[in-house]
Amino acid sequence: MDRNEAHESLEIARQSMELTRQAVARAGSGYILIIWGIVWLFGFLGSQFLGEAQGYLWLVLDVFGIVGMVVVILKSRSQVRSTHGKRIGIFWLILFVYGGLIFWIAGPILGDKYLLFITVFVSFGYVVMGLWFSPPLLYIGLGITALALVGWQLIPAYLGAWLALVGGGGLIASGIFILRGRA
């Protein structure tokens, strides 16, 4: 085999691997990011503008997020079978239990710090997921954390709206980015 043939074969392998990674990502994670982006966007907008009534909004949005995610997972399972799904589910469950424990031990965490705590904690989850199996999620997590802290320092009066924009908007944009196959 000559050099050109070897180069061509390596290029076929590289392109096939890239194509598969993108297709697998499109089969699940793109839609999941968009669903949780919508939850985040409207939830934090509610935190900014609705006052006490925000609790009901979060409840409705969380149910929407969980149902939507289950539907996407069940649909993508018919194309790609993986044990990752179970491990990812267990990871998020454990993360939220630990989040609750930290909240309980270190509390009371109120007002702006409460919104920031949720944002940073969920972003941490995305960072771990990114290190684990999907690099774009690492950058999404780090980016949202950095922008959340900037907003907290510079525009604390509009923190809820800011977090809705960078967190929810960021997740929706990332989901669309993955679905278009660029990630």
Interface residues with other proteins (CB under 8 A) are: 1-3, 6-7, 9-10, 12-14, 16-17, 19-21, 23-24, 27, 77-84
| Closest separation in Å from C-beta 82 to other proteins | 4
Angle between helix 29-49 and helix 3-27 axes, rounded to 10 deg: 40
User: In the block, which residue shows the tokens 């990332």?
Assistant: 174
* 18-22: long-range pairs with CB below 8 Å, 24+: 22/178, 22/181, 22/183
Residues 128-164, buried b or exposed e (16+ Cβ, 10 A)? Answer: bbbeeebebbbebbeebbebbeebbeeeeeebbbbbb
CB of 25 to other proteins, least distance (A): 11
Whichever of 80 and 95 has its CB closer to other proteins, that residue is 80
**How far apart are CB 15 and other proteins at their closest, in Å?**
8
Tokens 């996407």 sit on residue: 72
Closest separation between CB of residue 181 and other proteins, Å?
Answer: 12
With tokens 């267990």, the residue in question is: 90
**Cβ proximity to other proteins, 81 vs 182, nearer residue:** 81
The size of the chain, in residues, is 183
- Closest approach of other proteins to the CB of residue 17, in Å: 5
Going by C-alpha positions, the residue among 136, 177, 143 that lies closest to residue 163 is 143
CA 157 and chain centroid, separation: 25
